[in-house]
Amino acid sequence: MTGTQQTASQISDDIARVFALQKANQWNVKATTAAERRLKLTKLKDAVASHADEIVAAVLEDTRKPEPEIRVTEVLNILGNIQLILDNLDDWMKPTEVTPSKVETDRAQIIYEARGVCLILGPWNFPLGLVFGPLAAAVAAGNCCVLKLTDLCPATEKVAAKIVKSVFEENEVAVFEGDVSVATALLDLPFNHIFFTGSTRVGKIVMAAAAKHLASVTLELGGKSPVIIDEGADVEKIAADLAGAKQFNGGQACICPDYVFVKEDQKAKLVEGFKANVEKNLYENGRIKKEGIAQVVNQANFSRVKGLFDDAVAQGATVAAGGVLEAEDRTIHPTMLTDVNPQMKILQEEIFAPILPVMTYDNLDQAISYIEERDKPLALYVYSNDEANVQKILNRTSSGGVTVNGVFSHYLENRLPFGGVNGSGMGSYHGYFGFKAFSHERAVYIHQTAV
């Protein structure tokens, strides 16, 4: 499907036509066996693999990401996710037997059945991976799907449509291209389930649209993900981790560390370590290697981030590392700010760029209280050698997920659920949890016939 070469009326008619086809076909798809679903997923996997170079070229054109990052996030991760499903789908689809509590000779079970016709709305930071990952889970669960990638990545959108068309009939999976008006038109339809990855602001719009039809939702959002560095932690390792995290996709990841708490006497070592690692990873002869870091996705987001940076500096923040924002090609050098305070906008809004504010604390309770008083983040990072302190932080805070003594690991482990909580999201996916996200747990009770 394309939205860019049609009138608004034609787009609306095309959306209605495909939606009607999928509504009519959903019962056939729901009844498919594990073997039939595995065949579809194998075709999808093979199509992604065969179009790998085309995917890399498209994402590079849209985002200027480093090619190795694109291969991992937009190709290898998709292939790995599909293979995990292929290896486990038979077990996941088996009914869960439950022993009846009153009549033991009766039978009870939980059946995982398809939700129906699903809408998957993707973001711009990982434009293919964060659409095809959920798609694989939805197909595994026996659903029909409509996909809408972001219009900020038009080249990737075209490749996605080409791949989907080569694997699926449109009465099962279809892609619609176009701007936000296409997404708005899709949200008017009574989908059974909506899976959205993006900002909290747009997540509220999606949830309001779903409420009109009582559709279930999975919302993968964001928020300000904190890092707590406990006394005695390995600051050199932490500095390297944070420099790498902020370089990855130019800091444009929903689980990227958004601010840091460190003891005052460790701050200078953290800053120096961050600077040294950025210099090592990203500079050559004093100049940044721009092929090594993604640019900010568009001018609007660059202006937003620059506004946060300028506001912090105007209010007294110190540029401890980096601080170069190149408007002509939307490149932001990895930056660390110190002497920040909660009144600064940069500590109130998700940054989504390679800028990292650093706050200091006197005792652990201060850092914990700060996090408790704010919206629940998508990720929380704790660096500590003290198990009691780690447990205290876990007990006193809430977040979508946690990685201790590292970054991103709770996301990368596909045997763990990934998702947010309240302002950072609703529901979870990855692996088995993705299959469950696109499934309804149906209770079945069977009375045994008297002999």
**357 vs 224: CA distance, rounded Å:** 11
**300 vs 124: CA distance, rounded Å:** 13
At residue 76's C-alpha, the angle toward residues 70 and 80, to 5°, is: 150
Supply the pLDDT for residue 1. Answer: 53
* Residue 77, CA atoms < 13 Å, CB-side half-sphere: 22
* Sequence-distant (≥ 6) Cβ neighbours of residue 351 within 8 angstroms: 224, 251, 258, 305, 308, 357
* Residue 430, CA atoms < 13 Å, CB-side half-sphere: 15
Q: 262: closest CA among 380, 379, 362?
A: 362
pLDDT in tens, 12-57: 899 999 999 999 999 999 999 999 999 999 999 999 999 999 999 9
Supply the pLDDT for residue 440. Answer: 98
Low-confidence spans in the chain with pLDDT less than 70:
1-6, 450-451
pLDDT in tens, 87-114: 999 999 999 999 999 898 999 999 999 9
Supply the pLDDT for residue 284. Answer: 93
Contact 242, 272 (CB under 8 A): no
Domain 225-412 has CATH 3.40.309.10: yes
Supply the pLDDT for residue 3. Answer: 46
Supply the pLDDT for residue 6. Answer: 66
Domain range 8-221+420-446, its CATH number among 3.90.1150.10, 3.40.605.10, 2.20.25.240, 3.40.50.800: 3.40.605.10
Q: Residue 108: exposed, middle, or buried by beta-carbon count in 10 A (0-12, 13-18, 19+)?
A: middle
Residues designated as active site = 220, 254
The domain limits of the chain are 8-221+420-446, 225-412
Structure tokens given for 261: 């708490």
SS3 381: strand
Structure tokens given for 429: 């996916």
Taking each helix axis from N to C end, the angle separating 387-396 and 364-372, rounded to the nearest 10 degrees, works out to 20
Q: Residue 210: exposed, middle, or buried by beta-carbon count in 10 A (0-12, 13-18, 19+)?
A: buried
